[in-house]
């Protein structure tokens, strides 16, 4: 009797336990679903805030009697005055711009200026009731934080991406560009996306989508690397040359006297020559050149590479460039006037160098560095009290400085540390680069180090 009651009790206990568990499981599902809904709503709130600030930009340029549309890009509205920023190395000066705002008819914009080094272009529109979002502080960006990016991927307007920051402080150096302190993002960068905003969890703009670094077989992260924007720039130059080329004359061909005398002499019968090109054929050929260049650009725009590494420019840096373009129509950068290189290990031992730095291999005659007394074999360790260990670090600090300001260089000369004050002068603005004392071309701020066999 006692044994039966114990068994019955155990049965009742197990039934009650199973019942409680079965009731608890369905209750946990709605709570989990509620958490997902909250996360989704938080993201959608950010999208609703940012999306109206994203615009579609269409660039075209007139060559003579023809107008050629050559680029579609994304831009973001920065303020109520209608200032729009985009990033593309393919933007040509004096281009015509059409701006499409969400829910409005396309309207004409004005290109205020383009920074050829970074690809940052500023457009202005006269429009009321523009929606803007707050500008964040990119110096507070950390690896791992969540982000939302927006753009017009491959012409698909209003594209939105969710992701996170992979890393900060990235540096990219190439033939026609140099970027520092970029942050790497997990969101994809498709053709048409550069220029779009990258916002944080509060909806504040912390960066601008910049570029996708293609797979290693196509591009290198080191100096001399080739990127999508470099190819775009070359294609646009080809387009400009093709559009400006005058049609060749098909009639009234001048024949030299020597050739005329040669033709007057009796000669062996020749095979009938091909009929000469008429005006229509020449015109078709000129049109095909322009079409070929346009096809190249369109092919580059659509050549998205999988597995690319994607970057965004920090908003603090972008806003600095934007303010200079709005004020002067261009970006005036300072020149120091030195060529530098990393210090070889053998030379380190020879000069007993223990600190990090870059060694001056050449000084541009008449430059601010020359006037201040900087000499070859000086080792620059600090720029305005900030340590220098790589060439690109010095160059970026110079490029981010203001023209006319004085910079303090900490150098080591013959084993002794000293400080030299240099007044930074404006770098040449022409496309032809300045010539150094060695006769080689130089770039703003610092120059590439000379070859080992080069005479100074």
Query: What does the block give as tokens for 259?
Result: 């050739």
Domain boundaries defined on the chain: 32-245+288-330, 334-447
The mean of the pLDDT values for the chain is 75
Decide yes or no: CATH 2.30.42.10 for domain 334-447. Answer: yes
The CA-CA-CA angle for residues 162, 165, 169, to 5°, reads 150
Report how far apart, in Å, the C-alpha atoms of 323 and of each of 73, 78, 97, 112, 348 are: 21, 11, 20, 11, 42
Is the predicted pLDDT of residue 305 greater than 80, yes or no? no
| The pLDDT value given to residue 230 | 53
Is the predicted pLDDT of residue 98 greater than 50, yes or no? yes
Q: Strand, helix or coil at 232?
A: helix
Tell me the pLDDT tens digit for each residue of 254-267. 444 454 454 455 55
Is the predicted pLDDT of residue 336 greater than 90, yes or no? yes
394 — phi, psi (to 5°)? -65, -45
Other CB atoms closer than 10 Å to residue 179's CB: what's the count? 21
Quote the CA–CA distance of 190 and 245 in Å, as a whole number: 33
- Across the chain, which distance is largest between two alpha carbons, in Å? 139
Query: What does the block give as tokens for 352?
Result: 């007993």
Separation of first and last alpha carbons in the chain: 112
Give Cα 256 distance to the centre of its chain.
52
- 450: confidence class by pLDDT, cuts 50, 70, 90: very low
| The pLDDT value given to residue 366 | 92
- 438: confidence class by pLDDT, cuts 50, 70, 90: very low
The residue assigned the tokens 């753009």 is 151
- 272: confidence class by pLDDT, cuts 50, 70, 90: low
Report how far apart, in Å, the C-alpha atoms of 223 and of each of 172, 175, 292, 359 are: 8, 7, 30, 18
| Polymer length in residues for the chain | 456
Quote the CA–CA distance of 118 and 384 in Å, as a whole number: 24
Query: What does the block give as tokens for 304?
Result: 């998205």
Which CATH architecture does the domain made up of 32-245+288-330 adopt?
A: Beta Barrel (2.40)
- 288: confidence class by pLDDT, cuts 50, 70, 90: low
> For the whole model, what pTM was predicted?
0.66
CB 43 within 8 A of CB 162: yes
Quote the CA–CA distance of 395 and 355 in Å, as a whole number: 19
| The pLDDT value given to residue 219 | 36
Tell me the pLDDT tens digit for each residue of 68-93. 888 889 999 999 999 999 998 888 88
| The pLDDT value given to residue 92 | 87
Give Cα 23 distance to the centre of its chain.
57
Quote the CA–CA distance of 395 and 391 in Å, as a whole number: 6
Give every CB contact of residue 222 below 8 A, 6+ residues apart in sequence: 173
- 365: confidence class by pLDDT, cuts 50, 70, 90: very high
């Amino acid at each position: 009797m006692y044994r039966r009651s114990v068994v019955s009790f155990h049965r009742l206990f197990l039934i009650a336990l199973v019942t409680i568990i079965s009731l608890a499981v369905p209750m946990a599902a709605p709570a989990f679903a509620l958490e997902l809904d909250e996360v989704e709503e938080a993201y959608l709130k950010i999208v609703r805030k940012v999306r109206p600030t994203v615009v579609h930009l269409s660039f075209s340029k007139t060559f003579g009697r023809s107008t050629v549309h050559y680029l579609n890009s994304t831009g973001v509205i920065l303020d109520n005055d209608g200032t729009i920023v985009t990033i593309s190395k393919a933007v040509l000066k004096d281009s015509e711009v059409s701006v499409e705002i969400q829910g409005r008819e396309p309207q004409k914009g004005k290109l205020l200026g383009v920074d050829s080094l970074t690809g940052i272009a500023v457009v202005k529109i006269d429009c009321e009731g523009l929606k803007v979002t707050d500008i964040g502080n990119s110096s507070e960006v950390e690896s791992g934080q969540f982000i939302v990016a927006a753009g017009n991927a491959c012409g698909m307007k209003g594209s939105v991406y969710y992701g996170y920051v992979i890393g900060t402080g990235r540096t990219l150096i190439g033939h026609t560009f140099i970027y520092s302190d970029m942050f790497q993002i997990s969101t994809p960068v498709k053709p048409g996306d550069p220029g779009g905003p990258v916002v944080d969890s509060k909806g504040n703009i912390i960066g601008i989508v910049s570029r996708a670094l293609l797979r290693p077989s196509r591009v290198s992260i080191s100096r001399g690397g080739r990127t999508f924007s470099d190819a775009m720039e070359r294609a646009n130059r080809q387009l400009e040359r093709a559009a400006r080329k005058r049609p060749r004359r098909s009639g009234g061909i001048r024949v030299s006297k020597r050739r005329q005398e040669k033709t007057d002499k009796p000669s062996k019968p020749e095979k009938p020559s091909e009929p000469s090109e008429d005006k229509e054929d020449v015109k078709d050929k000129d049109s095909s050149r322009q079409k070929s260049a346009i096809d190249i650009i369109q092919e580059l725009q659509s050549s998205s590479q999988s597995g690319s590494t994607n970057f965004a420019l920090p908003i603090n840096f972008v806003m600095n460039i934007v303010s200079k373009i709005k004020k002067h129509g261009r970006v005036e950068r300072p020149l120091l006037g030195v060529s530098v290189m990393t210090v070889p290990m053998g030379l380190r031992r020879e000069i007993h160098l223990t600190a990090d730095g870059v060694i001056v291999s050449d000084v541009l005659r008449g430059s601010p560095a020359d006037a201040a007394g900087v000499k070859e074999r000086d080792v620059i360790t600090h720029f305005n009290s900030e340590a220098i260990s790589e060439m690109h670090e010095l160059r970026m600090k110079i490029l981010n400085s203001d023209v006319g300001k004085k910079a303090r260089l900490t150098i080591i000369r013959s084993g002794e540390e000293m400080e030299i004050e240099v007044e930074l002068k404006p770098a040449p603005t022409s496309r032809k680069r300045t010539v150094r004392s060695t006769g080689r071309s130089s770039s703003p701020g610092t120059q590439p180090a000379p070859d080992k066999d080069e005479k100074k």
